[in-house]
Amino acid sequence: MNEKNASIFGLGILEGTSAFVTGGGTGIGFGIAKTLGALGANVTIASRRQEVLDKACAELSEAGVRALGIVCDVRDHGSVKRAVDQSVEKFGGLDILVNNAAGNFACPTEDLSPNGWRTVVDIDLNGTFNCCHAAFPHLSKSPHVGRIVSIITAYAWGGWPGCAPAAAAKAGIQSLMRTLAIEWAPKNIISNTVAPGPIADTEGTKRIHEDTDRAAAELARVPVGRFGEVEEIAAAVAYLVSPAARYVNGTDLVVDGGRQFKATPRPDAK
Ligand code: HXC
Ligand code: NAP
């Protein structure tokens, strides 16, 4: 956690809680894991590559975080359930689920194969359902009020040329969070989303903006004039899972420097 975040959040505010962060070994997910851990949470990170999880867990442990890495494919409900159950067994409960795992690539929609479409929707949308479903019995018992935070993006409602499956999947996740906000709040779980704009030094920005030679064009559409930082997304998640946000339910916290108010250009515009 960087100094700016530490100056806002009391370091012990998540003491006694356990968090499960999908895709928590890299990029934004790892930033979230570090911040929640620094605030006192036990942290489980879950994704497909053991070596990535090992490296991330070593770094978390070195920072004093009680961390567990579990190999899991969010597309497989059985794999998710085993991972959640293992996390609960280790830490004695589950209070926070962060649905961060995602797949995405830039491809004109007319060139996309049906399997390309299915793959992204399966990871993002079906994966989020699988995690919420497997976590439900544990989150509903949380003495801190169970929290679900799903990472989406404002491109879901602003349009995302070249990333149709991710846009559709993220819109689906937003809808799922709103439904759960109503359906599960009486069952002790509140649900929200965080919608990052373009975040520097991440796989997402590399694939979608840098590899496609559109980073400068994207930057020009961010009113604050820079890409975001991983820690700025982690801070938004920390707020939503903190005691301060117990009455925040079913909302989207957009952290994009105002990017959502600039139209996404036609794919042929530079
Ligand atoms: C077109 C592609 C493609 C590409 C894969 N496919 N990459 N089609 N252009 N660049 C097609 C394949 O041809 C195949 O279809 C289908 O997608 C499945 O591909 P697999 O490689 O078999 O899938 P899998 O091994 O499951 O890997 C999933 C993946 C991969 C999404 C394709 O890239 C991945 O694991 N990504 C995880 C990391 C990631 O994406 N991070 C960025 C998240 S950023 P066919 O028909 O050939 O069988 C994000 C928002 C970014 O979400 C926001 C930026 C501002
Ligand atoms: P990233 O580093 O590639 O993160 C994606 C993570 O998901 C990886 O750790 C990956 O690990 C995991 N993952 C992918 N498929 C999985 C599966 N089937 N099962 C389990 N885990 C899986 O990308 P990022 O840029 O940090 O993105 C993180 C989140 O932020 C995503 O939800 C993304 O949509 C969102 N977002 C990012 C930006 C941005 O600017 N970067 C902007 C808006 C929204 P494995 O490959 O090891 O499984």
Residue 267 belongs to some domain of the structure: no
Sign of the dihedral defined by the CA atoms of residues 80, 83, 86, 90, in that order: negative
Residue 100 belongs to some domain of the structure: yes
Residue 265 belongs to some domain of the structure: no
Residue 145 belongs to some domain of the structure: yes
Q: How confident is the model at residue 178 (pLDDT cuts 50, 70, 90)?
A: very high
Report, as an integer, the average pLDDT of 94-117. Answer: 98
Residue 241 belongs to some domain of the structure: yes
Q: Which ligand 2 atom is nearest residue 24's CA?
A: 9
CATH number of the CATH domain containing 92: 3.40.50.720
Residue 261 belongs to some domain of the structure: no
Give the span between the Cα atoms of 226 and 234, in whole angstroms.
17
Mutate to test the pocket of ligand 1, among 100, 104, 153, 255 (most ligand atoms within 8 A of CB): 104
pLDDT in the model for residue 11: 80
- In three-state secondary structure terms, 33 is helix
pLDDT in the model for residue 267: 74
Give the span between the Cα atoms of 40 and 89, in whole angstroms.
18
Task: Render pLDDT for 33-71 as a digit per residue (tens, 0 to 9).
Answer: 999 999 999 999 999 999 999 999 999 999 999 999 999
Q: Is the pLDDT of residue 175 over 80?
A: yes
Residue 216 sits in which domain range?
Answer: 3-256
Nearest CA among 86, 119, 94 for reference residue 105: 119
239 is catalytic: no
Q: Is the pLDDT of residue 114 over 90?
A: yes
Task: Render pLDDT for 228-259 as a digit per residue (tens, 0 to 9).
Answer: 999 999 999 999 999 999 999 999 999 999 99
Residue 141 belongs to some domain of the structure: yes
Q: Is the pLDDT of residue 5 over 80?
A: no
Q: How confident is the model at residue 9 (pLDDT cuts 50, 70, 90)?
A: confident
Phi, psi of 198 (to 5 degrees): -70, 125
Residue 193 belongs to some domain of the structure: yes
Query: Atom 34 of ligand 1 has which residue's CA nearest to it?
Result: 103
pLDDT in the model for residue 245: 97
Query: Atom 33 of ligand 2 has which residue's CA nearest to it?
Result: 102
Q: Which amino acid is at 151?
A: I
Q: Tell me how many domains the chain contains.
A: 1
Distance 186 CA to ligand 2 centre (A): 30
